[in-house]
Amino acid sequence: MSNFATRDFSGGGLDFKAAVTNSGAPDFGSGDKGGDASAATAVDETANAERLAALEQERQAAAAKARDAGWAPQVPYNYTENTNPAGEIGEAPDAAAPAAPWLADAVIYEWCDEYGEVGPRNEELERELFQAEHRMRSGGAIQALTFDVSVEGPEASRPAPVREFDDAGLHPVMRENVRLCGYVAPTVIQAYCIPAVLMGHDVVACAQTGSGKTGAYLIPILSRLMGKAKALAAPRPNPKGYNRMTDRVRAEPLVLIVCPTRELACQIFDDCRRLCYRTQLRPCVIYGGAPTRTQRESLEMGCDVLIATPGRLMDFMQQQNLVAFHRLKFTVIDEADELLSNGWEECMEKIFSGADVNVDADHTYLMFSATFPKEARKLAKEYMEDDFVKIRVGRVGSTHANIKQTIVWVDDSSKNQALFDLVFNSEPCRTLIFVNAKRKAEMVDDFLYNKGLPSTSIHSDRTQREREDALRAFKMAKCPILVATGVTARGLDVSGVGHVINYDMPSTAYGGITEYVHRIGRTGRIGNVGRATSFYNEGNEEIADALVKLLVENKQEVPDFLQDRIPETLDFDEDKTDNEDDDGGFGAAGFGAGDDAGSSEGDVNGSEAGGFKADNDDENKMASW
Ligand SMILES: Nc1ncnc2c1ncn2[C@@H]1O[C@H](COP(=O)(O)OP(=O)(O)OP(=O)(O)O)[C@@H](O)[C@H]1O
């Protein structure tokens, strides 16, 4: 666990990252050892201190070189300042709580009863929502996202695509918010989804990573509710003069959005904050690891759009008078293949047919993902209305040409050096490095840090506070190198990620080619170009066929050592089939059905191996309750 208090600085695993305080001076916590110091121990400690001081000097020299090469200065993590044990899962407000807000506490547009149809502008909030420097801007290669599109469903339900937001029939406030977001034209998936949702259909949609799927459901859903919120929403207190003791209400959302990871939930919440601007629609987010108290308090002020990770959602559903779903008009399952396939059946059952859920025909269900293995598609179908619309942009589970993929042979024992050489010799840019195990993430992060590079890490053994801080530091480019397990693979949308490195290839036990697609999709988003480098060796043969097919499909170079895997006929048509009943379809070709779509976060050392569903992310039931 990456925590100052739990690091062992006495053994061989020397780690300057945790030991160096913000002042830059090493602090090895010498007072923590306790007990009577014998003469021998004193000698040991002196030798240890000297060794550490020498290593610290080396690190500083390396850091100076890295800065010369254009990398940002290192930012050591200050555990004393940023860790708030009482607040991690706890309830109690803590006086020593860190100043950085939880992502869930981000400010939203507060609607007052006095407002007419549309609320007045709030310039300060507008700047925060729409003008943040680190927000994603679409790139010039956006036309590369125009794949062939397949729309299936009853003839009458198939929507004609909208080419312009102006022609989409959006509520004027939504139109304005879309403009403020800087979206000039709908992406392909948006062009098809917006009319389908406006027409009231259930939708299952699959489109490449970074193709704007979040907007594809949020824009039409929120647009449909704008202007109707007064009639549909539950009564709620006026935020002006709100008194929690007397005024709080039960949350009765109109929209429920469920997604597998905390970071993604916060990101969707962010999009909602923007798209609900100046309207009565009130978004809230609930997710594990952050204090329940503030999340509960937010719900008690009323909630129209609830974004949730499944663990916290199940927890809150069991609490009396906190949240009820009889008003729901829309339920969205984002990263649906992950949620349908990885142990969340009970939660899905509750969402789709729970006792207090609105099961009337006016409740629309939507499912989205960039990958949709056949098993997950079969399940999705069971939950949908008969006339649901299925929209697919490109082949299910494919990547796009804006990402330059390189596969290099690297033996396990040479990976650290190869990584350092690759990173150090690349143009400095936001770099995301994926590994398959939590401890490996710490190890690689420490290795890079001790080599003078500005790195941090994110995985599910880090506290939520640490995860949010790491992500914030990565977004703001304070720590432009982020070492991650699969927790972050799905959905994470950070502007300017120029390079994704698979230090470990995802094994089929941990997501296989499905996860590879999600991982490399953190770069080359929304028309930007990006680069993905993957370390491959004989341990990754199980993924070879699917990988080669993906490379060939996107006209990427196939390395010599994988040439013999190129199939004789490259018939990708079979991969486009969406016939869930046809087991000879693309699933059999190795694009999904055989893969476990779970996030990778195993741990090679046994204790966590095999238990990855329960352990892969603390979104899992037990940990996040
Ligand atoms: N029409 C648009 N024009 C320009 N940018 C857009 C548009 N729609 C969405 N975006 C931006 O594109 C980025 C990627 O969108 P989003 O995260 O929804 O992609 P995604 O398809 O869900 O990706 P993933 O499969 O990786 O989750 C976001 O930063 C979003 O703000």
Pocket residue to mutate for ligand 1, from 214, 332, 369, most atoms within 8 A of Cβ: 214
pLDDT tier for residue 194 given thresholds of 50, 70 and 90: very high
Q: Which atom of ligand 1 is nearest to the CA of 165?
A: 1
Cβ–ligand 1 distance for 212 under 6 Å, the answer: yes
Cβ–ligand 1 distance for 151 under 6 Å, the answer: no
Class of domain 403-565: alpha beta
CA of 67 to the centre of ligand 1 (A): 32
Cβ–ligand 1 distance for 177 under 6 Å, the answer: no
Neighbours of 439 (CB within 10 A): 17
For atom 29 of ligand 1, the residue with the nearest CA is 136
Distance, CA of 259 to CA of 312 (rounded, Å)? 11
Cβ–ligand 1 distance for 213 under 6 Å, the answer: yes
What are the structure tokens assigned to 216, written together? 């594809």
For atom 1 of ligand 1, the residue with the nearest CA is 186
Cβ–ligand 1 distance for 525 under 6 Å, the answer: yes
Cβ–ligand 1 distance for 593 under 6 Å, the answer: no
Q: Could you read off the pLDDT of 458-499 as tens digits, one per residue?
A: 998 888 889 999 999 999 888 999 999 987 778 899 999 999
- Amino acid identity of residue 439, one-letter, is R
For atom 25 of ligand 1, the residue with the nearest CA is 209
Distance, CA of 404 to CA of 542 (rounded, Å)? 22
Q: Which atom of ligand 1 is nearest to the CA of 211?
A: 21
Cβ–ligand 1 distance for 210 under 6 Å, the answer: yes
Q: Which of 96-100, 102-106, 412-416, 599-603 reaches the highest mean pLDDT? A: 412-416
What are the structure tokens assigned to 420, written together? 């350092």
For atom 22 of ligand 1, the residue with the nearest CA is 213
CA of 433 to the centre of ligand 1 (A): 21
Distance, CA of 89 to CA of 73 (rounded, Å)? 32
Residue 618 pLDDT greater than 50, yes or no: no
Cβ–ligand 1 distance for 130 under 6 Å, the answer: no
Q: Which atom of ligand 1 is nearest to the CA of 521?
A: 26
Distance, CA of 480 to CA of 470 (rounded, Å)? 10
Q: Which residues contact 149 (CB under 8 A, 6 or more apart)?
A: 161, 188, 192, 391, 392, 393, 394
What pLDDT is attached to residue 352?
A: 86
What number is the average pLDDT over the span 188-197?
95
pLDDT tier for residue 333 given thresholds of 50, 70 and 90: very high
| Tokens 């254009």, located at residue | 70
Find the Cα–Cα–Cα–Cα dihedral 602, 607, 612, 618, rounded to 10°. Answer: -100
Cβ–ligand 1 distance for 397 under 6 Å, the answer: no
b/e burial code for range 28-65 (CB count within 10 A of at least 16 → b): beeeeeeeeeeeeeeeeeeebeeebeebbeebeebbee
Measure CA 584 to chain center. 32
Pocket residue to mutate for ligand 1, from 135, 146, 209, 493, most atoms within 8 A of Cβ: 493
Q: Do domains 103-114+147-232+249-393 and 403-565 have the same CATH topology?
A: yes
Residue 142 pLDDT greater than 60, yes or no: no
Residue 575: C-alpha distances to residues 28, 209, 546, 549, 571 (Å): 56, 18, 12, 11, 8
Q: Which residues contact 61 (CB under 8 A, 6 or more apart)?
A: 452
Look at residues 307, 362, 312 and name the one whose alpha carbon lies nearest to residue 334.
307
Q: Which residues contact 492 (CB under 8 A, 6 or more apart)?
A: 263, 264, 267, 471, 522
Q: Which atom of ligand 1 is nearest to the CA of 526?
A: 12
Cβ–ligand 1 distance for 183 under 6 Å, the answer: yes
Give strand pairing partners of 151: 391
Cβ–ligand 1 distance for 283 under 6 Å, the answer: no
CA of 526 to the centre of ligand 1 (A): 6
pLDDT tier for residue 96 given thresholds of 50, 70 and 90: very low
What are the structure tokens assigned to 58, written together? 């080396």
pLDDT over 70, % of the chain: 79
Residue 398: C-alpha distances to residues 125, 369, 422, 578 (Å): 38, 11, 26, 14
Q: 103-114+147-232+249-393 maps to which CATH number? A: 3.40.50.300
Residue 586 pLDDT greater than 60, yes or no: no
What pLDDT is attached to residue 77?
A: 65
Residue 11 pLDDT greater than 50, yes or no: no
Helix (H) or strand (E) holding 380: helix 374-383
CA of 214 to the centre of ligand 1 (A): 6
What number is the average pLDDT over the span 243-267?
93
Three-state SS at 381? helix
Q: Which of 210-214, 217-221, 235-239, 586-590 reaches the highest mean pLDDT? A: 217-221
Q: Which residues contact 516 (CB under 8 A, 6 or more apart)?
A: 502, 505, 506, 534, 543, 547, 550
Distance, CA of 68 to CA of 70 (rounded, Å)? 5
Is the CA virtual torsion 225, 229, 234, 240 positive or negative? positive
Structure ipTM over 0.85, yes or no: yes
CB 69 within 8 A of CB 428: yes
Distance, CA of 508 to CA of 594 (rounded, Å)? 8
CA of 223 to the centre of ligand 1 (A): 18
Give the start-to-end residue ranges of the domains of the chain. Answer: 103-114+147-232+249-393, 403-565
Lowest-confidence segment of 188-192, 596-600, 621-625 by average pLDDT? 621-625
Q: Could you read off the pLDDT of 344-361 as tens digits, one per residue?
A: 888 888 888 877 888 888
CA of 138 to the centre of ligand 1 (A): 9
pLDDT tier for residue 20 given thresholds of 50, 70 and 90: very low
Q: Which atom of ligand 1 is nearest to the CA of 491?
A: 27
Counting Cα atoms < 13 Å in the Cβ hemisphere of 580 gives 13
Residue 534: C-alpha distances to residues 186, 419, 434, 507 (Å): 32, 10, 9, 13
Residue 321: C-alpha distances to residues 125, 292, 585 (Å): 31, 15, 47
Q: What are phi and psi of 283, to 5 degrees?
A: -90, 145
